[in-house]
Each structure stands twice: as structure tokens, then as C-alpha cells.
Homo-oligomer: A and B are copies of this chain.
Amino acid sequence: MRLSTKARYGARALVDLALARPEDTTCVRDIAERQCISPKYLEQIMARLKAAGLVKALRGRHGGYALSRPAASITIKELFEVLEGPVAAVECVDDPASCPMSDVCPTRETWVQMKQALQNVLEQTSVQDLVDRENQR
């Protein structure tokens, strides 16, 4: 059960944007270079973040990306759902009807607890929290 590079790269990209002044834009090439990510791949990731409304883009020369909201209001859970999909590790957690035994299955409750535990962590962490950590060093 590994986290994809999309989610990890995306998190670092958001922190990178949050470190810039909110009114400035940062181009993909610069983020990619600082974060050691393939620029073309990061482009796709940023496109998804934009579609989800987490960042906004400015096209043309001197264009780039910026957070669309204050870093403190963007949670890692949002990022996770955009780039990694549902937090639930088993389908029946979100959709009991997907398994005919959902209402009797003793394992399902554990998968539900797993989701809740994960979600707690992801919801409680904002991009600003990550920035604060970075600044503490």
C-alpha cells in the first residue's frame, strides 16, 4: 500500500508555491528543478491540482502557478483525494453495496477504522503546517 509519486510530488509542489509570495506565480520548470521532479510529469500533476481548484494558473510569458487559497486552508486530505483517490483503502468502506456481505463482514469495520485514522491525520495537516515545519529549520 504505497503512496504514489503523484501525491508526494504534489505535496512538495504545494509547499514550494506556499513559500513564494501569494501574489507571485511560479513556473513548473522552477518547481521541478528545486524539487527534483520531471518537469513534464509535474505539468500533469499541476493540471490536476488546478482542475480541483487548489491552485490557479497564469498563461503566457512570466506565467506560472500560485495557490488559489491561503496555505492554511488547503489540507493534505484535499491533495490526497485529487492525486491519490479516495482515502478508503477498500471499496466497501465508501460503498457498502459494492460487496454483498458488507453488513455481516467482520473485517469491514477495521477497514473503516483505517480510513478514519488516515483521514484524521490528512485533515489536520494543512500546507501551511508543512511550511511551518520547513521554516523551523
Residues 24-68 of A, flagged 1 when their CB comes within 8 A of B and 0 if not, give: 000000000000000000000000000000000000000000000
Interface residue SS majority, chain A:
helix
CB distance from A8 to the nearest CB of B (A): 7
Q: Within 8 Å of chain B (Cβ to Cβ): is A110?
A: yes
Complex Cα spacing A109 to B131, Å: 12
Chain B residues with CB under 8 A of A20: none
The answer to whether A130 touches B117, judged by C-beta atoms less than 8 angstroms apart, is no
A positions within 8 Å CB-CB of B:
1-4, 8, 11-12, 15, 76, 84-85, 89-91, 104-107, 109-111, 113-114, 117-118, 120-122, 125, 130-131, 133-134, 137
